[in-house]
Amino acid sequence: MKAQLILENGRRFTGTLFGSEENTAGEVIFTTGVVGYEELLTDPAMAGQMVIMTFPLIGNYGINFEDMESGKVWPHAVIVREECVEPSNFRNEMNFGDWLSSHGVTGLCGVDTRALTRIIRDEGVMRGVIMAGEPSDDAVRSFMDKCGAPTIAEVTAKNIYTVNEGGKKRAAFIDLGTRKSVVDAVSSYDCAVTVFPASANAEEIAACKPEIVFVSSGPENPSDADAVANTVKALIGKFPIFGIGLGHRIIGAALGCKTERLPFGHHGGNYPVKDKKTGRVYITTQNHIAALTDLSDDVEEIFVNVNDGTCQGIKHKTLPVMSVEFTPNTLTGAQGTGHIFGNFLKEVQ
């Protein structure tokens, strides 16, 4: 079935529907990853997005359920140049289109994703809709108005649970919409990890007597972030705290820093980040559309993005509080920045 992607600026791209083939709306972003689409699309941080895959062929190695980061595909839509309908990989369990359909997620293929990505780079992230046929401008505007901001409440854990109960160290994990692999990676440091919903208050978290509090990543620009920042603010000075992604910006807000929305953000696994102390540059995995700015006097910047100079990590000058915008690589299965969380854990002990 033919359909159109219509951007907020009026530009239209015609393609063919696959997946659930339903009309949908969301914020249109692009990601530069060549592989890892299973992990990316099951990351709760992608809630509410319409994702352009810049690599031209998607689905060639199929879907493997072992690599899922959650039990759901979170974006509202996936936009590709070409969908591979006959995957070839010994781990494949389902083809890409059927997988999207099983989760009720719309796909659009046959689109010039290079031209589309250049528009987003030049004009910034904007809302968009995918609608069957050639809808009128009035129909597009009406449907686009239904595009709301994601919330932490829709992606966080529903109940408190513990991973690796026999761990020698105790970690409290505030789940803002985390990947499963991040919880597992924290537990691999011999931590008994108690995962809390984002609605948990400071008293509930303190009651488990953690040796460290971890604040996870989550969706971009959530409408309910202030409440979590207040909880983290109440914990600062009482426990060592470490955060990544959205958790980094939540910690920054709790410490008096401001957040600035970027034109098109950083989405992918190839972003260079410089350690300001050593001068060493790391290639990192990122998934965000905002950055900390106007850092408070209590905070020092420890990592910076080489491409655009945005803040990629902070550390409190006197308290054991640290956060990074990217995902330390032991938390994603690669190597390079994995020492960051491990070193912080050793310091605070």
So where are the chain's domains?
A: 2-144, 152-348
- H or E stretch at 108: strand 106-109
Strand spans (E) along 178-320: 191-197, 212-215, 241-244, 258-275, 281-293, 299-305, 311-316
Q: Are 159 and 233 in contact (CB under 8 A)?
A: no
Work out the angle between the directed axes of helices 225-235 and 246-254 (0-180°, nearest 10): 60
- Residue keyed to tokens 């969380």: 341
Tokens of 72: 């759901």
> What pLDDT does 336 receive?
64
* 169-175 vs 241-244, strand pairing mode: unpaired
* 241-244 vs 311-316, strand pairing mode: unpaired
Q: Are 291 and 273 in contact (CB under 8 A)?
A: no
Per-residue CA distances from 172 to 44, 181, 231, 236, 321 (Å):
19, 16, 13, 13, 14
- H or E stretch at 174: strand 169-175
- H or E stretch at 132: strand 126-132
- Residue keyed to tokens 């290639």: 283
Provide the CA 100 distance to its chain's centre, in angstroms. 19
Q: Are 322 and 242 in contact (CB under 8 A)?
A: yes
Residue 303 to residue 300: CA distance in whole angstroms: 9
Residue 152 to residue 4: CA distance in whole angstroms: 30
> What pLDDT does 146 receive?
78
Tokens of 69: 């980061």
> What pLDDT does 329 receive?
65
- H or E stretch at 30: strand 24-31
Residue 312 to residue 289: CA distance in whole angstroms: 12
Question: How do the pLDDT tens digits run along the chain, 349 residues long?
Answer: 999 999 999 999 999 999 999 999 999 999 998 899 999 999 999 998 999 999 999 999 999 999 999 999 999 999 999 999 999 999 999 999 999 999 999 999 999 999 999 999 999 999 999 999 999 999 999 999 877 778 999 999 999 999 999 999 999 999 999 999 899 989 999 999 999 999 999 999 999 999 999 999 999 888 889 999 999 999 999 999 999 999 999 999 999 999 999 999 999 888 999 999 999 999 998 989 999 999 999 999 999 999 999 999 999 999 999 999 998 865 544 456 767 888 898 888 7
> What pLDDT does 343 receive?
86
* 82-83 vs 57-58, strand pairing mode: parallel
Domain covering 2-144 in this structure, CATH number: 3.50.30.20
Q: For 152-348, which CATH class?
A: alpha beta
Region of 98 (left: φ > 0; alpha: ψ -120 to 50; beta: rest) is alpha
Backbone angles phi, psi at 117, to 5 degrees: -65, -40
- The counts of H helices and E strands in the chain are 9, 19
Contacts of 253 (CB under 8 A, 6+ apart): 225, 226, 229, 259
Question: At 221, which amino acid appears?
Answer: N
> What pLDDT does 348 receive?
83
Tell me the whole-structure pTM to 2 decimals.
Answer: 0.93
